[in-house]
Amino acid sequence: MERREEELIRQHLTHDDELKSLFEEHESLKHQLQEYRSRHYLTNEEEIEEKRIQKLKLASKDRMMAILERYQSDAR
């Protein structure tokens, strides 16, 4: 996630519970991925789980970006 996007998200966290929940989920998934990526070797099951987490993380980012787009449209 780009720095500007993260700043915009943080601006709206206090008044948007859905965005806050998505951001927390995204951060949790990011930390889980970092854990997998720090390992030298992954089992087949761990590789599958890593891919699943990547997809969930991307989906949460997509939903956050849709919310930010809505805010930007409202500001126009």
**Identity of the amino acid at 50:** E
| Residue 1 per-residue DSSP state | -
- CA–CA dist 53, 10 (Å, integer): 23
| pLDDT 10s digits, 8-43 | 898 999 999 999 999 999 999 999 999 999 999 999
Q: Structure pTM?
A: 0.86
| pLDDT 10s digits, 47-66 | 999 999 999 999 999 999 99
CA neighbor of 5 nearest in space, from 75, 65, 66? 65
Main-chain dihedrals φ then ψ at residue 68, nearest 5 degrees? -65, -40
- CA–CA dist 42, 71 (Å, integer): 40
